[in-house]
Amino acid sequence: MESGAAGNDSFRMTSPGLARASKHEFDLVYRRELSFVWRVLRYHGVPSDAVEDAVQDVFMVVLRRWEDWDQHSSSRSWLFGIARRVAATRRRGVRRQERKLAALPEPAPTSALDERAADRETLRHLALILAQLDHKLAAVFVLAEIEGMSAPEIARELGANLNTVYWRLRSARAHVNAAMAQQESQP
């Protein structure tokens, strides 16, 4: 759809109910009142980056309701009312979007490049430690510490005795903690 804001001098849209003579009248109203509608929308709080779309919304309503307009009354008063309602609808939409955004949890702060590099090095070291562990100990450690599963869930998943899972988890944690402490003590 073309917009008067981009320099077009006519609103080129047809409606099934818009007679040929009415289309010509609509084009005249569009050309004559475009800047008025633009100003009304800005006055009613439509941001400059959204005003072009709001103008289009106004003239879409005008097009749909063309036959309802009493052409003996002022087109500006009719357009003012439509523009005011479009602006109010947009403000409600913006407030609704702001409420939705406010309800979202704050994103985790991004770490600095040095911290991310250190984290990657720690993960590489952890992967080496886990590779050296017995595969049963490593599986329990990964499921508990990385996947966040509880010991009973791990026991069901692996088909192991619950006490065995607890023992494997304690052993794996002890081995990983000792290896990580040894790595940290090295220059």
Cα 144 to Cα 2, 12, 62, 121, 158: the distances in Å are 59, 64, 63, 21, 12
Question: CATH topology of 4-103 equal to that of 113-185?
Answer: no
Enumerate the domain spans of the chain: 4-103, 113-185
The rounded mean pLDDT for the chain is 82
The pLDDT, as a whole number, for residue 103 is: 87
SS (H, E, C) the chain: CCCHHHCCCCCCCCCCCCCHHHHHHHHHHHHHHHHHHHHHHHHCCCCCCCHHHHHHHHHHHHHHCHHHCCCCCCHHHHHHHHHHHHHHHHHHHHHHHHHHHHHCCCCCCCCCHHHHHHHHHHHHHHHHHHHHCCHHHHHHHHHHHHCCCCHHHHHHHHCCCHHHHHHHHHHHHHHHHHHHHHHHHCC
Q: What is the CATH number of domain 4-103?
A: 1.10.1740.10
Q: What is the pLDDT of residues 82-117, one digit of tens each?
A: 999 999 999 898 889 888 888 888 877 765 666 766
Q: What is the pLDDT of residues 46-57, one digit of tens each?
A: 888 889 999 999
Domain spanning 113-185: which CATH class is it, in words?
A: mainly alpha
Q: What is the pLDDT of residues 147-169, one digit of tens each?
A: 889 999 999 989 999 999 999 99
Q: Summarize the confidence of residues 14-27 as an average pLDDT.
A: 66
Sign of CA dihedral 41, 44, 47, 50: negative
% of the chain exceeding 90 in pLDDT? 34
- Whether residue 84 contacts residue 44, with contact meaning beta carbons closer than 8 Å, is answered with yes
The pLDDT, as a whole number, for residue 170 is: 95
The pLDDT, as a whole number, for residue 186 is: 74
pLDDT exceeds cutoff 60 at 20:
no
CA-nearest of 166, 173, 164, 167 to 141 is 173
The pLDDT, as a whole number, for residue 26 is: 84
